[in-house]
Structure 1
């Protein structure tokens, strides 16, 4: 069977996607699969690389440029052939969209693959879109009664029409420090920590440079605990992991170079807190119609309160990433993890086909 490994993309997390793709290539079982890399450039071109039957030795080889042939050159320029997205509709293949950020893990790619009628790894359109949108996800989780940090959604048109009213709402329902975030970006892009009104105004204006919808969230003094999810109709959880912060705010630069982050696996938390995290994760994932994989991020306060922060439907896969390390500590190797994800994709595809009525 062939795996179409989709990576890159037109967003700020382009290089993170390449790192994840390289990790998947090293983990996948080539005795069962060949891998056809499909690279989406920063300008939006789709390039098909040479079919791989063994791992590459350097991630830089995945930076394809358009050429007349598909050829990997690990000491020079690798070339790929222009591809139309519709060409992915091939029998006996699974698409693995190891992409992060906008126009990638936000339901955009998933919707295209769904329309093409091909099996693909990871969450579907709804879960991907909800997981990427901080405002929509918080509203859904709030309706389900899942504890979260207090927040105020801000729409660009409303901000321009009534900024003072929005500021009063933020200061009336939230306490400083607050965090200001674009609603649909990851890796701390456009995120600011603010401690007064002047900084709040500047942060909202900055966030609007990235998106037309912004989230203002209450700052929480808490530990950041993460759980890995794997499964479809039956969910499996990892042990908890923790980012050992050296400062109050992990910014975009630290997330982009994650080797600076110290991970503690397993995190030292009590059984009651872990049980709440699993309960909230299962509730949230069900509401999103999740299937495949996710990393659930929680806040754990000093008095034992558990708050759901967010759900990431396509976590990183490289050697510095929390998600694969959590599973490794559970005894599931990266190769077995990739295999499980491929099998889950095939299982969901078969089930969806059985449910279709024409």
Structure 2
């Protein structure tokens, strides 16, 4: 029986490019080569697709990116190697005889410029252009199976404003928040500050609506810190979300996380807790600094655990997700101990020491088995989509 051809796609144009390299290194190291024919596919920061040979070089060196410590650094080479690869101008197409809406065009000359025939794509892309529905749209047009949520689930899971609207519609508890556009801030900054202070109490969290790995997020304790925080968030997205800090002066909220796996009938992992070394679990705490603790399972009552797991599944369904997602929560440190749904991440960090794989390992699903399960879920979802008629 021929092996399934699996394309592992990594890199990308987002601010989470380096994190993607680390996740891909772990996947390529753990995936069962006896079961799958693995095709590494890299995307440079400039948006160029590179050949598998160049992509493999990125992940087979001995040196790690000097600024990151997470994942499998011994298996990750400098990102500069990726930038030197050759551009691939034809997207992946199904290996079997299927016809998608995206028909590859012919190229001449360089043999590296050809379509990659694949059975399934495993996108290990984080952030903009990777988990926001854009690359998923390409796979849909090509008619190829891929790991993770579809266009809608990816887009809603990426946009923190739309995500919160869906959570509210599903009657899931969320924190108070204010959303506005970058142009509104540029035109009337004083008006925005007044609006924020009328709706929320300090401290507040200022976030770009569309980004992950805590890139561009700041905690503002007062008006003096608010404007610089908004400027930072606005440099990463046209839409800014400001959230009420949970706990306030009573103390920091407890940060809980749950991994969800499945398609139409998803299941939830054990609950984990992050105790960041910094004031909150920002990019530096996640990838640059030692000392943050990951507690698995989280120290919760049985009732709290069940509540968080059920909310995670409801959030997954509310955003029309599939395959995988990590759902994050905030537990009020006060007497109420109220649990708030913070956000959903449809393509979470996937290094062997990232929270998503660790939560499933603690739930009895080892890292290589998790990769297998995600590939099977991608194929199952494609089979279900193939039942749909697109013409009369």
TM-score (norm 2): 0.83
Q: Which runs of 5+ in 1 are unaligned?
A: 67-78
Deviation at 1:169, TM superposition (A): 2.0
Distance in 1 of aligned mates of 2:266 and 2:38: 27
Residues 11, 357 of structure 1: alpha-carbon distance in 2 compared, 3 angstrom cutoff: closer
Note if contact 1:39-1:62 (Cα within 8 Å) is conserved in structure 2: no
Query: CA offsets per residue over residues 214-239 of structure 1, 9 Å max, x none?
Result: 01111113100100000012111110
Note if contact 1:49-1:81 (Cα within 8 Å) is conserved in structure 2: no
| Secondary structure of the structure 1 residue equivalent to 2:188 | helix
The 5 A counterparts of 1:80-99 are 81-91=86-96, 93-99=119-125
| Secondary structure of the structure 2 residue equivalent to 1:211 | coil
Note if contact 2:255-2:274 (Cα within 8 Å) is conserved in structure 1: yes
Q: Quick one: which of 15, 19, 35 aligns to 2:18?
A: 15
Deviation at 1:133, TM superposition (A): 0.9
Distance in 2 of aligned mates of 1:347 and 1:62: 34
Q: Could you say which residue in structure 2 is the equivalent of 1:70? A: none
| Secondary structure of the structure 1 residue equivalent to 2:219 | strand
Q: Does 1:39 align with 2:39?
A: no
Q: Quick one: which of 306, 311, 327 aligns to 1:280?
A: 311
Aligned residues between the structures: 344
Q: Could you say which residue in structure 2 is the equivalent of 1:157? A: 183
Q: Does 1:341 align with 2:377?
A: no
Q: Which runs of 5+ in 2 are unaligned?
A: 61-73, 97-117, 248-252
| Secondary structure of the structure 2 residue equivalent to 1:239 | strand
Q: Does 1:142 align with 2:175?
A: no
Residues 253, 247 of structure 1: alpha-carbon distance in 2 compared, 3 angstrom cutoff: closer
Distance in 1 of aligned mates of 2:80 and 2:26: 14
Distance in 2 of aligned mates of 1:267 and 1:145: 25
Deviation at 1:84, TM superposition (A): 2.4
Note if contact 1:149-1:307 (Cα within 8 Å) is conserved in structure 2: yes
Q: Quick one: which of 5, 8, 32 aligns to 1:29?
A: 32
Deviation at 1:81, TM superposition (A): 4.7
Distance in 1 of aligned mates of 2:389 and 2:337: 46
Query: CA offsets per residue over residues 167-211 of structure 1, 9 Å max, x none?
Result: 222111211111111111112211111122122122112221111
TM-score (norm 1): 0.90
Residues 62, 181 of structure 1: alpha-carbon distance in 2 compared, 3 angstrom cutoff: closer
Query: CA offsets per residue over residues 104-135 of structure 1, 9 Å max, x none?
Result: 11111111111111000111111111111111
Tell which deviates more after alignment, 318-327 or 276-285: 276-285
Distance in 2 of aligned mates of 1:104 and 1:123: 11
Q: Could you say which residue in structure 2 is the equivalent of 1:244? A: 275
Q: Could you say which residue in structure 2 is the equivalent of 1:131? A: 157
Note if contact 1:36-1:48 (Cα within 8 Å) is conserved in structure 2: no
Q: Does 1:254 align with 2:259?
A: no
The 5 A counterparts of 1:86-235 are 86-91=91-96, 93-221=119-247, 222-235=253-266
Query: CA offsets per residue over residues 228-276 of structure 1, 9 Å max, x none?
Result: 0000121111101111223322332222337543211111111222222
Deviation at 1:80, TM superposition (A): 5.0
Q: Could you say which residue in structure 2 is the equivalent of 1:315? A: 348
Tell which deviates more after alignment, 225-234 or 89-98: 89-98
Deviation at 1:341, TM superposition (A): 0.3
Note if contact 1:258-1:321 (Cα within 8 Å) is conserved in structure 2: no
Q: C-alpha root-mean-square deviation of aligned residues, in Å?
A: 2.0
Distance in 1 of aligned mates of 2:38 and 2:290: 27
Deviation at 1:62, TM superposition (A): 7.9
Q: Quick one: which of 249, 252, 267 aligns to 2:298?
A: 267
Distance in 2 of aligned mates of 1:300 and 1:191: 19
